[in-house]
Amino acid sequence: MVRAVAALTSVLTLAALPARALASSPPKLDVKAAALIEAGTGQRLYGMNAAATLSIASATKIMTALVVLEHARLGQVFAAPAYSLAAVDSQIGLQAGQRMDVADLIAAMMLPSADDAAHDLAYNIGGGSVDRFVAMMNARAAQLGLAHTHYSTPVGLDTPGNHSSASDLVALARYALRTQPFLRHLVAMPKAKLRIGNETRTVANLNTLVGRVPWVNGVKTGHTLDAGYVLVGSGTRGGMTLISAVLGASSESAREADTLALLTWGFDNFRLAKPVSIGQVVTRLPVRGRQGLSAALLAAGSFSRVVPKRAPVTTVLHVPRELKGPLRKGAVAGSQVVLQGGVPVASIPLRLARAVPAPPPGVSPTTILGPFTLVLLVLLLGVAVVRGRRERLTARRVAGQRQE
């Protein structure tokens, strides 16, 4: 719904409304911490102890994958270093010297959560030093503003100094999925075929929601004694993608049930509203002195926002009744204000699609005022003439009566 208002306003910076207004109560989760965001906007829809610093197990490997993808080619081949596996390690059984390409190593690390694949990648990207690779992970966490995150391992085993939070995990997953198409495609696969040396092997995704629930498309599982059961999840429905994190669940089935409940609550209660798109022709205004000419106003930016499904989102135009040139192409000539439930939440500048010429020289005021005003002036002039005639006739009659 768009209403025109005859006023010109400047760009506004407006406060955001709480996204959870009008939404039903979130599900009760039996976890230590949890978070839910919308991927496109980054809006937080839910948090429970979201900033708490906790062990994260193999959710660590999201950062391992990001750093690898930012420093290596997918087709690059690495030879596995010697690696002593602990009894609790997930692994694909790499032997020292076995060769795999980066794409398959990342798949082994992310789907069956192979620790030996993570160690292989860290050792080789770190130039023969896993510690150097871990320093790269921490530097990247600082660059991304992950305030509750620190790494001491690329694998995610329980080691001092390896921790994060639910809010940091969803923020990291959002960035990694947006910037790394290979990773986004990979974590949505229930299975993958890997080539290990001369052998081809099929591995399964430990996140069994992928493939079982049609709209679930990621991201990473984790489990250690300290961390409990961890799952960073994602799903896409109705053009909206949500990313969740649950930490400290009691079992694999519990972390999946809680993830599914949290994502489902988000999709059932919220929608992604996109009332304004950059470059969209929002309105056309008449140009003073140029009969029949109108100027298109384009939205200078896009606006999207997650809102409760029952919350109305409308827009109001703040523009003049007409434009007076000369005005250059791209000049701001108004704004479109977005309202959520009647409350302003954003203001988008409107720019001219083309330059607006000045009124032609010698244009009469009636021409500038336009045909409607001209008709009105003619009518008023006619009324004045008739009134004048009546007054003269009345004066003559009065004069005649006096003479009699």
pLDDT at residue 112 is higher than 50: yes
The whole-number pLDDT of residue 370 equals: 43
**Predicted pLDDT at 212:** 97
- Count how many Cα atoms sit within 13 Å of the Cα of residue 97 in the half-sphere of its side chain: 0
d(CA 236, CA 216): 7
- Asked whether the predicted pLDDT for residue 366 surpasses 80, the reply is no
Predicted confidence (pLDDT) at residue 376 exceeds the cutoff of 70: no
State how far the Cα of 310 lies from the Cα of 298, in Å rounded to an integer.
29
Q: What is the DSSP letter of 153?
A: -
Ranges of each domain in the chain:
2-15+275-352, 33-249
Strand, helix or coil at 275?
strand
Inform me whether the pLDDT recorded for 172 exceeds 70. yes
Provide the pLDDT for residue 397: 54
Residue 198 pLDDT class (50, 70, 90 cuts): confident
Angle CA(277)–CA(279)–CA(285) in degrees, nearest 5? 105
Task: Give the pair of three-digit tokens for residue 114.
Answer: 């192979």
Specify the pLDDT at position 84.
79
Q: Say which range, 101-110, 326-335, 382-391, has the weakest mean pLDDT.
A: 382-391
Write the pLDDT tens digit of every residue in 231-242. Answer: 999 999 999 999
pLDDT tens figures, 61-108: 999 999 999 999 999 999 999 887 766 678 899 999 999 999 999 999
- Indicate if 33-249 has the same CATH topology as 2-15+275-352: no
The pair of three-digit structure tokens given for residue 17, joined into one six-digit string = 């409304």
DSSP 288: T
Q: Name the percent of the chain lying above pLDDT 90.
A: 77
Q: Quote the pTM value.
A: 0.81
Using alpha carbons, select from 237, 230, 226, 303 the residue that is nearest to residue 264. Answer: 237
Q: Which pLDDT score is estimated for 372?
A: 41
- How far, CA to CA in Å, does 182 sit from each of 125, 136, 274, 323? 18, 21, 27, 49
For residue 267, give the 3-state DSSP assignment: helix
Residue 267 has pLDDT above 90, yes or no: yes
What integer is the mean pLDDT of 329-357?
Answer: 95
Q: Which of 200, 170, 187 is nearest to 109 (CA)?
A: 187
Q: How large is the average pLDDT for residues 185-190? A: 98
Q: Are 156 and 59 in contact (CB under 8 A)?
A: yes
Confidence label for 17 from pLDDT (cuts 50, 70 and 90): low
What does the radius of gyration of the chain's CA atoms come to, in whole angstroms? Answer: 33
For the cut 90, the answer to whether the pLDDT of residue 252 exceeds it is yes
Q: Of 2.60.410.10, 1.10.357.10, 2.40.128.260, 3.40.630.40, which CATH number belongs to 2-15+275-352?
A: 2.60.410.10
> Which residues is 136 bridged to in the sheet?
none
| pLDDT above 60 for 374 | no
Is the pLDDT score of 4 beyond 60? no
Pair 173, 35: CB distance under 8 Å: no
Please, are residues 171 and 144 in contact by the beta-carbon 8 Å criterion?
yes
Query: Hey, CA dihedral for 357, 360, 364, 370, is it positive or negative?
Result: negative
Q: Which CATH code, of 3.40.50.720, 3.40.50.150, 3.40.710.10, 3.40.50.960, is assigned to 33-249?
A: 3.40.710.10
Q: Which residues contact 170 (CB under 8 A, 6 or more apart)?
A: 35, 36, 37, 232, 243, 244, 245
How crowded is residue 290: how many other Cβ atoms within 10 Å of its Cβ? 20
Question: Are 47 and 36 a contacting pair, CB within 8 Å?
Answer: yes
Q: How far is Cα 348 from Cα 334, in angstroms, rounded to an integer? A: 9
Which element (helix H / strand E) includes 4? strand 2-6
Distance CA 380, CA 378 (A): 5
Q: Find the mean pLDDT for residues 168-193.
A: 98
Burial of 137 (0-12, 13-18, 19+ CB in 10 A): buried
Mean pLDDT (whole number) for 345-371:
77
Question: Residue 317 and residue 348: Cα distance in Å, rounded?
Answer: 10
